[in-house]
């Protein structure tokens, strides 16, 4: 049987978005995000992070810096009984990337490359899966990968494009998790 997954944007969805953040001391979970992730994990969803990290491409920090931060986040979540299956990241930027990072790739959201990789690697049933993020590019990546998009209000401003899109918007990851839990109990 295939697995169900929650694909998650990181900055603005799981942690407070601080531009080009890579230092552990700057990392701060969004209020109730850990509790929301625990609910989703306990409902049997594989939790997979898909995050654009143009700060690497711009030379602000390294892939190693990002991996250290992601490991810190994963270790903190393990303490609450939550397993992140994998953190996929896109270091590229077609316009502002430097060197090998300056390219128009298939992984940068709104393209679906990271999600498609996760779907394949973890044998995901897209009909039972979601993409949660705080921007339209997150939602579009979900749509492009055939998973249901969800927008949360804990990061970037909700744009007119989002309001008019018909995509479900929640105040937070936690609010969405509660709704999904209640739905699964009925």
Residue 120 structure tokens: 């394949």
d(CA 117, CA 114): 5
65 is catalytic: no
**Count of C-beta atoms within a 10 Å radius of residue 26:** 12
Q: How confident is the model at residue 52 (pLDDT cuts 50, 70, 90)?
A: very high
- Helix 63-78 with 33-42: angle, nearest 10 deg: 70
pLDDT at 57 over 90: yes
Partners of residue 9 on adjacent β-strands: none
Of the options 3.40.50.2300, 1.25.40.10, 3.40.190.10, 3.40.50.1000, the CATH number for the domain spanning 5-185:
3.40.50.1000
* Residue 18, pLDDT score: 93
Distance separating alpha carbons of residues 92 and 172, to the nearest angstrom: 28
Q: Known catalytic residue: 125?
A: no
Kindly indicate the confidence band of residue 64, based on its pLDDT and cuts at 50, 70 and 90: very high
Percent of the chain exceeding pLDDT 70 equals 100
Beta bridge partners of 47: 6, 84
Question: Would you tell me the crossing angle of helices 136-144 and 113-121 to the nearest 10 degrees?
Answer: 50
């Amino acid at each position: 049987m295939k697995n169900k997954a929650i694909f998650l944007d990181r900055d603005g969805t799981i942690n407070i978005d601080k531009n080009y953040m890579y230092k552990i001391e700057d990392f701060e979970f969004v209020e109730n995000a850990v509790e929301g992730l625990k609910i989703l994990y306990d409902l049997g969803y594989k939790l997979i992070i898909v995050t654009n990290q143009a700060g690497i491409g711009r030379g602000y920090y390294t892939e190693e810096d990002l991996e250290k931060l992601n490991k810190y986040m994963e270790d903190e979540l393990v303490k609450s009984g939550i397993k992140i299956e994998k953190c996929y990241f896109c270091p590229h930027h077609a316009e502002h990337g430097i060197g090998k990072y300056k390219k128009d790739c298939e992984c940068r959201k709104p393209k679906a490359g990271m999600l498609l990789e996760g779907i394949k690697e973890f044998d995901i049933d897209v009909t039972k899966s979601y993409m949660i993020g705080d921007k339209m590019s997150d939602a579009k990546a979900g749509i492009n990968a055939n998973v249901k998009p969800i927008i949360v209000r804990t990061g970037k401003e909700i744009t007119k494009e989002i309001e008019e899109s018909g995509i479900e918007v929640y105040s937070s990851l936690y609010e969405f998790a509660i709704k999904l839990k209640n739905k699964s109990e009925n």
